[in-house]
Structure 1
Amino acid sequence: MDKSQLIILDLMSTVEFAALKHRDQRRKDQHGTPYINHPIGVAMNVINIGKVYDVATIQAALLHDTVEDTATTKQELVDKFGEHVANIVMDVTDDKSLSKVERKRLQIEHASHISAEAKIVKMSDKLYNLTDMVSNAPPSWSLEIIQGYFVWGKQVCHQLRNVNKGLEEALDKLFQSKFNYQGKEYPVVPCQNQQEELEFLEKYYSLLK
């Protein structure tokens, strides 16, 4: 096989692995979308919005939830995809032994310290989830929870800047947009400044406890 054929094989093997790992999972959206749609969509954001064609970064995007949300281990990723891909995945993996609020706080704290490849994956992930939230929010979520999720996402993304202009611009545009909730339009981020965002964030955390 030539190099391009090997790349295609690597990517298809990664899709197959991710699909197998997520085979019994569904998204929390209104349609119960098959979970595998999400990592594929994140990888597409890496390519289409980020204009990143690095194979390891695309593979990590496809695999980014395997350790966090399935029984997959880091060593399994190392054995199948190599140390570099596994390290990118681990950079964007939450510790599920912690509370939901603590995990969200740590995402903000750790975001600026992860690798450039991991920042691209995380921005692509946030772009996918937040875009999905505009039109397809979980039906059980209140207005405050949805807006809190956006404010939290904005705080995470602020720590990921200066890595990829395309993804940053797409996220900036999203944070200035509106969404429909029970027949009315609301701003995704209902705050005028950073202080208001931090106060809203604490309110959001209190709703998650």
Structure 2
Amino acid sequence: MSATTALIIKTTNFAAIKHKNQRRKDPEKTPYINHPIGVANYLVEAGVEDTDVIQAALLHDTVEDTDTTIEEISSVFGQQVASIVAEVTDQKGLEKAERKRLQIIHAKNASKQAKLVKLADKLYNITDLERSLPESWTEERRHQYFIWAAKVVKGCRGINSRLEEQIDQVLTRNGVEDPANITLLENELHE
């Protein structure tokens, strides 16, 4: 077994342990770990070979959604992986609307590696939303998520055409006109 394969298995196992009691909000209550594995898989399918990016994809929600810290990620997987995870992690203490606004703002200044994880994460989420409506969500909320995702993706464009094309296809099918050129509102651009 190659060292890279062993590292990916170690990372997947770490994420699986951290997310073991979590479920997605879909009607099937899918195990949460399916999400980070799916995000990593989208990256691999899009030709991404950077092991740090694949690891960060597997770990991208551990700090935000579990008791994991960036320091723990750094000590187990190294500073580069921790740095990517930190870039894609929302600040837990902020209101949800502010966290979403900051994702739009920070996307354009993120590293290439973080942008790859963000693109694959948004692709997974919108594909999942297209497949089924989460419990307690309305059609309007789903549509607003698609628009918000298009705004986040706008700041990540030019990094991976395969991911961007897939995202555009899902968004277009779901009523987001011209997702590559979606307009950002003035209040979304101020910090």
Length-normalised TM-score, structure 1: 0.84
Q: The residue matched to 1:59 in structure 2 has which SS?
A: helix
Aligned counterpart for 1:101 among listed residues 94, 97, 100: 97
The aligned residue for residue 10 of structure 1 is 7
Q: Which amino acid aligns with 1:38?
A: H
The reply to whether residue 65 of structure 1 matches residue 58 of structure 2 is no
Report the Cα offset of residue 33 of structure 1: 0.4
CA distance in 1, matches of 2:66, 2:111: 23
Give the drift of 1:190.
6.8
Instruction: Say which of 37, 42, 50 aligns to 2:39.
Output: 42
Q: CA deviation at 1:139?
A: 2.8
Q: Specify the alignment match of 2:134 in structure 1.
A: 138
Q: What is the distance in 1 between the residues matched to 2:170 and 2:177? A: 13
C-alpha contact 2:26 2:134 (8 A) present in aligned 1? yes
Q: Is the contact between residue 104 and residue 151 of structure 2 (CA under 8 Å) also seen in structure 1?
A: yes
Alignment of 1:125-204 (within 5 A): 125-178=121-174, 187=175, 189=176, 194=182, 198=185
Does the CA-based 8 Å contact 1:147-1:190 persist in structure 2? no
Letter in 2 for 1:18: A
Select the residue among 28, 37, 40 that pairs with 2:25: 28
Query: How far did 1:198 drift?
Result: 4.6
CA distance in 2 between counterparts of 1:161 and 1:45 reads: 16
Q: Which runs of 5+ in 1 are unaligned?
A: 179-186, 203-209
Give the match's secondary structure for 1:113. coil
Maintained 8 Å contact 1:112/1:160:
yes
User: Which is higher, the Rg of structure 1 or of structure 2?
Assistant: 1
* SS, match of residue 2 in structure 2: helix
- CA RMSD, 1 decimal: 2.0
Do the aligned residues in 2 keep the contact of 1:18 with 1:63 (CA within 8 Å)?
yes
* Letter of the structure 2 residue corresponding to residue 6 of structure 1: A
Cα deviation code 1:78-99 (max 9, x no counterpart):
1100000000000000001000
Show CA shifts across 1:173-198 (max 9, x none). Answer: 111103xxxxxxxx3x2799846x75
Q: Which residue of structure 2 aligns with residue 54 of structure 1?
A: 50
The percentage of aligned residue pairs carrying the same residue is 49
Structure 2 gaps of 5+ residues are none
Q: Which runs of 4+ in 1 moved over 2 A?
A: 189-195
Normalising to structure 2: TM-score of the pair? Answer: 0.92
2:16 maps to which residue? Answer: 19
- Count of residues in correspondence between the two structures: 187
